Structure 1
């Protein structure tokens, strides 16, 4: 995760209008591809902008997490509409969403690592100096995130990106019905998840990268089902519930794998090396257990 470089965001001449009073997207089977993009994107943008504004003065862990989730949802939405948005425009926008999510995630990553270190301490591991250092790292991450997530810039960037996308869609697919298009994109996401799940399940020794790929594919599918559920055939509530359950297991594994890497790669000048090593040993043992649980879930959905 590269969070060292600063970057600028464009300021649009005209803004994408977000209806902040709308509780959720209004979709029907007769909606067009272009109009549904606006309906789906607007609430996510509104939440991202509100979270960014709140986090300019607060350091709430859940706020950083939900901001990162909003950017992930926008990446999934842009992927869904990429056949009409074009590869270049989709890649440019999603790269910026990914960058912003990483900035928001810096604080969240240290929150997760801190919670895991507390669990290690409760199990008898003596790592108080490392816990204190992790709290300091978290405080530094908050300052960094707040500095880079300037609410006015985030709002300007999102408005500009979505205005461009909406203009493109109106010129290319205005009037085309959403249902068949949405079902096709969902099927592609389902196939990608199935392919990655089977690849991970076939491997005699589960690899972290394979589980990470399954997790990303599962998130994309879940977000698309949540977006398009009002217009696609069949009830998908059960599928969303099952995906959420799988994601929870994969998320638990990802949390500990990411925390191990975070602590392993960080500099702790005031912490004795043996304390860091003791924490890593606990994390590796816990990671192994969580990997087994995640692998069982992946094998279940691969069938």
Structure 2
């Protein structure tokens, strides 16, 4: 999606400072849907802008990861409010959130792949060349991400997206209270997770794509539970903890699967093909183990 063609980016307008009180106020059952969106979105947007600024001079992988998390949270929030934001506006915003998250994630992906290759190197000395090559790929990913992530452009885009959403929600649902809406959206996200989990659990060992779908659905539900926790019925703390545990197992599998894909698609100058192949065989073996563990946790969701 070419966002620049359809959504011209304005200059930053310091929306975050103006909205600080709203962002810091606690949610309540008497809050309107429109006001609640601003309260939830503003601190996430501010976090994304802060991380983007820091990454201009800091190449720490955790900073890239947290920026990616912020964009994922915004995607979940826009999905929650999509009945009032509209399909087209939601698709435009979330499409750009997804693109920016992918740009931010390149460095983190090579960090994970490099860590796995170092683990393989403990029993395979020949992996040293590939570990060094992965570190070079990581450096290239940092340079690419820093070139693509311009904090002033991201701030302008997020300011505009938040303002557009606020205006739309105030015109559509400013007098509607949040609790029933929040519980409905959480319920829909939970049903989607159950549906994905049942589909993935139909076989003794799920397919990679099915596990990935479960992981995405689980993240959406967890983010919504965290967002709406103050205004929905109590008892979700245990659900958040369980989701976090399942996400950790699915994340371990995803790290292996994503690293395998990353290495298969990369060109490593100076690394013998047999070394690359050896690494892929090692990753394949590790992936099988972690896939079985992830499948067991997915079946636990269904049960």
* Shared fold, TM over 0.5: yes
Q: What's the counterpart of residue 47 of structure 2?
A: 47
- CA–CA distance in structure 2, aligned partners of residues 33 and 21 of structure 1: 18
CA, structure 1 residues 274+208, in 2 after alignment: closer, same or farther (shift >3 Å)? same
**Superposed, which structure 2 residues align to 1:88-99 within 5 Å?**
88-99=88-99
1:17 paired to 2:15? yes
In the alignment, which residue of structure 1 is the partner of 2:107?
Answer: 107
Deviation at 1:274, TM superposition (A): 0.5
Q: CA separation of 1:113/1:86 partners in 2, compared to 1, >3 Å: closer, same or farther?
A: same
- Match of 1:155? 155
Task: Determine the structure 2 residue equivalent to 1:176.
Answer: 176
Q: Distance in 1 between matches of 2:190 and 2:278?
A: 41
> 1: distance between equivalents of 2:12 and 2:301?
45
Task: Write the distance in 2 (CA, Å) between the matches of 1:57 and 1:6.
Answer: 26
Distance, in Å, in 1 between the alignment partners of 2:9 and 2:75 is 20
Alpha-carbon distance between aligned partners in 2 of 1:107 and 1:210, rounded to the nearest angstrom: 25
Give CA deviations for 1:101-157 in whole Å, capped at 9, x if unaligned.
000001111011001111111233521111111111100000000000001000000
Residue 270 of structure 1 and its aligned partner are, at CA, apart by 1.1
In structure 1, the partner of 2:138 is: 138
- Structure 1: how far apart are the matches of 2:25 and 2:114? 37
Deviations 1:241-284 (A, max 9, x none): 00000000000000110000000110112110011011111100
Shift of 1:24: 4.8
1:232 paired residue number: 232
Distance 1:228 1:7, change over 3 A: same
Summarize deviations over 1:64-105 as a string: whole Å, max 9, x none.
Answer: 000000000000000000000000000000000000000000
- Quick one: distance in 1 between partners of 2:12 and 2:148? 23
Cα distance in 2 for residues equivalent to 1:6 and 1:129: 40
Partner of 1:122: 122
Alpha-carbon displacement from aligned partner over 1:158-213 (angstroms, at most 9, x marks no partner): 00111000000000000100000000000000000000001111124410000000
User: Alpha-carbon deviations, 1:8-67, whole Å to 9, x = none?
Assistant: 873326747224866855200000000000000001001000000000111010000000
Match of 1:30 in 2: 30
Q: Secondary structure in 2 aligned to 1:123?
A: coil
* Unaligned stretches of 5+ residues in structure 2: none
Give the number of aligned pairs.
300
Matches within 5 A, 1:267-286: 267-286=267-286
Give the whole-Å Cα distance in 2 for the aligned partners of 1:178 and 1:64. 32
> What does residue 193 of structure 2 align with?
193
RMSD: 1.9
1:223 matched to 2:223? The reply is yes
Moved more, 14-23 or 81-90: 14-23
State the secondary structure of the residue aligned to 1:175.
coil
Question: Structure 2 length normalisation: TM-score?
Answer: 0.95
Q: Distance in 2 between matches of 1:25 and 1:93?
A: 25
Given the two structures, how large is their TM-score scaled by the length of structure 1?
A: 0.95
SS of structure 2 residue aligned to 1:102: helix
Whether the aligned pair in 1 keeps the contact of 2:77 and 2:224 (CA below 8 Å) is yes
CA contact (8 A) 1:10 1:156 kept: no
